[in-house]
Structure 1
Amino acid sequence: MSAFKNDVPRIGASLKSLETKQAESRPDAHEVRDALDEFLGAFEAFKEANDDRLAQIERKLTADVVTEEKVERINRALDRQKKTVDELALSLARPGIGSGARTVFDPARREHKRAFDLYVRKGETHELRTLEAKALSAQSDPDGGYLVPAETERMIDRVVSDASPIRAIAGVRQIGAASYKKPFTTQGPAAGWVGESEARIETATPQLSEIEFPAMELYAMPAATSTLLDDAAINIDQWLAEEVQTAFAEQEGAAFVHGDGVRKPRGFLSYARVANASWSHGKLGYLATGAAGAFAVSNPADTLIDLIYAVKAGYRSNARFVMNRATQSVIRKLKDAEGNYLWQPGIAAGAPPTLLNYPVTESEDMPSIETDATAIAFGDFKRGYLIVDRLGVRVLRDPYSAKPYVLFYTTKRVGGGVQNFEALKLLKFGTA
């Protein structure tokens, strides 16, 4: 065990180095690659320390307290390092100030962008109101705010998609109405084999039903000083996008997992759950680990394999695991019968880790492992969960409520829910 005594200080130093890089305005590709190398090296140190812990358990049926604490410290450091590497990769992918968003070639869009800039900076509304009246926009008005330029909306959507874990993996539809309705067949038409000259029996009419996802209003209210608004060097589009993206991403992430559908999207964990053997449409099937608040003591990986094969083959090709960081730290210690770790880090910056060769999406809104908690979800989220976005992000300028600051009441409409109950399965940490 002495061979590993310097691992924790070394990992702590590398984590500090990563956080320093993250604090810089814009990392380059070499910094992201170096950060990933440091993370992969830390994972090797974790495997060595955990192997030592497992060897102690095998020899003495228990591990030293010092070894257990050391493994947990490295595990927590790995979580922080992975988060920092992902944020560095995301920062590298973002457009720089003044790039992309300022280049607008369509005259109508350029005019709208200029009018919106005047509205945000000076509160001048005449040009913007005239432009939106010409466009016959039913989505904005002086009381409800004005639509942001298309480039700003795309920037907000892109950043939110990167920061919101469920949005990044789910199906997304853009709508122009208040809700999205989708018909589906509960009972298909009768069918069968028939000979060439035999009479055809009249078939039954297919039974149709409908699911509906209303778009709910999500808002954020960033504040700016008059000095910032007067500074012509500030890209107002990018400033607004960066101010609202964190608030939007956090609220969406929580709603897509356990939202109750009241004034917010309905999360996939809010639907009725049944044992997978008794699955029926409208409910999510789950498998139980067989132990309260834990994996089974013997062959814990078997439950994960069963969860994978509980999903039909057509959905497995694009399937992934979803869990929070605490659950992932437990999974990271598991091995297969040949001594190989089930969890493996991503081999490129921004690439997700894998579990049994399936990607892992980390969502902090998923429950942690405890008795009867459905802490792990698996399936094809692109086909199983649908997010609907109503076109248009609105901004209402408010210079009065928080003087001397100017508030920007920014809203978008989002809905969501499960659209295919066969595509998703859950793992319940309980006995049945």
Structure 2
Amino acid sequence: MTDETRMMAGVAPEVKTVPETVTAAFDDFMEAFEAFREVNDRRLGEIEQKLTADVVTRDKVDRINRAMDDQKKVLDQLVLKKARPQLGGGGGEMSAEVMEHKAAFDAYVRRGEEGSLRELEAKAFSAGTGADGGYLVPPQTDAEIGRRVSVISPMRALSTVRTVSSAVLKKPFATAGLSTGWVAETAARPQTGTPQLAELSFPTMELYAMPAATQALLDDSAVDIEAWIASEVDIVFAEQEGDAFVRGDGLNKPKGFLSYTTVAEASWSWGNIGYIATGTGGGWKVTGPSDTLVEIVYTLKAGHRQNGTFMMNRRTQGDIRKFKDADGNYLWRPPASAGQPASLMGYPIAEAEEMPDVGAGSLSVAFGDFRSGYLVVDRAGVRILRDPYSAKPYVLFYTTKRVGGGVQNFEAIKVVKFAAS
């Protein structure tokens, strides 16, 4: 039985070998989508004729849906792997200062020689991280860690990112907007009221990882030690950040947009996140389930709506794949090419596994202009503390960065609440 035949029969394809190229993985994903569309059309036809779908057909749709999710994961992993260039691979000229920092950092990581790094940071008026010590990684490594984390973390990729040198970023805003008006060319300008200002505060919190290496690995001069460190920490940093930006409680971590108070859109006020209810507790409406998605799109003002992105996890996306418009067209569209997002009603979909599954009262779908709505604050510099003692014979590298985040524009993000009202 071929993979295509197995998909048409509702059986997940045999995974003999993982596709080695992005193109092959994308082709497999598109074949799965075509099979899904045909079987789901059959399911919808049965509902129209018999008011219910055959159990076997429903199971086929669910199995193909899960197979599509698995193939999309493989595709995402290959795209991510392709986006990881080796550091130090001839990427352009470097200044003498940068070369000196790289050499000093390499000596510190491999052999624990910290004299040169201490001198460099003293020249730059920089010091270790309090009592913990540690040294800044070279600029290229710092930038590469940030770039890789952005590729993995959808919230970081979509949000505004600010780099600061202090522990807290404070952002003032006018609670009632700026006073404006029209006047004649020679008329007296009326006095404006004193603006009422408030302040949003975004403190940075410490995020850490502790990769371990053998001394043999560190002694191997063929190993690009900076690339190794970047590859070790990017996944864990991205997972921790992604979770915090979505649902973090703000205690020793950024505050996620789902942790703010939510109110019905009709009662929305600044400082809250507005929601549209599905009208059904714990699920989509039986008739016209996509109406809720249309409603949430048009809760945003035009300026934010044109930059809108849907955010949900794979399981919720699997439900939405089955939705059609009044003309029988699927609302969900597959990616136009490998590395591109799927779309829903013409808006891109960001997959965030931190978004909750559909359930009673859950906030499982978000739609917004995240660039305007959410702010990520990075404190400049990633630091590493070498520890050859705590887990002998391994050498630990206590790697830290400081990150904050929170909603900066409460008009720009809306959510779907799976509740009656």
TM band (smaller chain): over 0.9
Instruction: Check whether the contact 1:14–1:38 (CA below 8 A) recurs between aligned residues.
Output: no
Instruction: Give the aligned partner of residue 48 of structure 1.
Output: 38
Alignment of 1:363-382 (within 5 A): 363-382=352-371
Residue deviations 1:373-426 (CA, integer Å, cap 9, x gap): 110000100110000000000000000000000000000000000000000001
- Offset at residue 195 of structure 1 (A): 3.8
Alignment of 1:290-329 (within 5 A): 290-329=279-318
- Code of the aligned partner of 1:43: F
Instruction: Check whether the contact 1:367–1:373 (CA below 8 A) recurs between aligned residues.
Output: yes
- Offset at residue 52 of structure 1 (A): 1.1
CA–CA distance in structure 1, aligned partners of residues 127 and 370 of structure 2: 33
Instruction: Give the aligned partner of residue 23 of structure 2.
Output: 33
Which of 87, 93, 106 is matched with 2:77 structurally? 87
Instruction: Check whether the contact 1:15–1:77 (CA below 8 A) recurs between aligned residues.
Output: no
Which of 140, 158, 162 is matched with 1:173 structurally? 162
- Offset at residue 104 of structure 1 (A): 5.1
Alignment of 1:213-232 (within 5 A): 213-232=202-221
- Offset at residue 6 of structure 1 (A): 2.8
- Code of the aligned partner of 2:65: N
Alignment of 1:105-184 (within 5 A): 105-138=94-127, 140=129, 143-184=132-173
Say what the alpha-carbon RMSD is for the aligned residues.
1.8
Matched, 1:78 2:68: yes
CA–CA distance in structure 2, aligned partners of residues 339 and 73 of structure 1: 22
CA–CA distance in structure 1, aligned partners of residues 247 and 414 of structure 2: 15
Q: Give 5+ residue unaligned stretches, structure 1.
A: 22-30
Instruction: Check whether the contact 2:10–2:64 (CA below 8 A) recurs between aligned residues.
Output: no
Q: Which stretch has the larger CA shift, 198-207 or 301-310?
A: 198-207
TM normalised by structure 2 equals 0.95
Instruction: Check whether the contact 1:129–1:142 (CA below 8 A) recurs between aligned residues.
Output: no
What is the DSSP-based 3-state SS (H/G/I as helix, E as strand, rest coil) of the residue aligned with 1:350?
coil
- Runs of 4+ in structure 1 over 3 Å off: 8-17, 138-143, 188-200
Which of 42, 51, 75 is matched with 1:61 structurally? 51
What is the DSSP-based 3-state SS (H/G/I as helix, E as strand, rest coil) of the residue aligned with 1:78?
helix
Instruction: Give the aligned partner of residue 7 of structure 2.
Output: 7
Residue deviations 1:95-138 (CA, integer Å, cap 9, x gap): 0365246x552101100110000000000111111111111114
Instruction: Give the aligned partner of residue 402 of structure 2.
Output: 413
- Code of the aligned partner of 1:69: D
Residue deviations 1:44-81 (CA, integer Å, cap 9, x gap): 00001111111122222222222111111110110111
CA–CA distance in structure 1, aligned partners of residues 113 and 130 of structure 2: 14
Instruction: Give the aligned partner of residue 354 of structure 1.
Output: 343
Q: Which stretch has the larger CA shift, 137-146 or 86-95?
A: 137-146
- Offset at residue 199 of structure 1 (A): 3.7
- Percent identical among aligned pairs is 57
Instruction: Give the aligned partner of residue 28 of structure 1.
Output: none
What is the DSSP-based 3-state SS (H/G/I as helix, E as strand, rest coil) of the residue aligned with 1:48?
helix
Q: Which stretch has the larger CA shift, 180-189 or 91-100?
A: 91-100
Residue deviations 1:263-318 (CA, integer Å, cap 9, x gap): 00000000011000111000000000101111111111111001000000010111
TM normalised by structure 1 equals 0.93
Q: Give 5+ residue unaligned stretches, structure 2.
A: none
Compared with structure 1, are the counterparts of its residues 359 and 413 closer, same or farther at alpha carbon in structure 2 (3 Å cutoff)?
same
Which of 395, 417, 420 is matched with 2:384 structurally? 395
Q: Which stretch has the larger CA shift, 134-143 or 107-116?
A: 134-143
Instruction: Check whether the contact 1:11–1:42 (CA below 8 A) recurs between aligned residues.
Output: no
- Code of the aligned partner of 2:359: E
Instruction: Check whether the contact 1:56–1:64 (CA below 8 A) recurs between aligned residues.
Output: yes
Aligned residues: 418
What is the DSSP-based 3-state SS (H/G/I as helix, E as strand, rest coil) of the residue aligned with 1:6?
helix
Instruction: Check whether the contact 1:15–1:81 (CA below 8 A) recurs between aligned residues.
Output: no
Instruction: Give the aligned partner of residue 420 of structure 2.
Output: 431
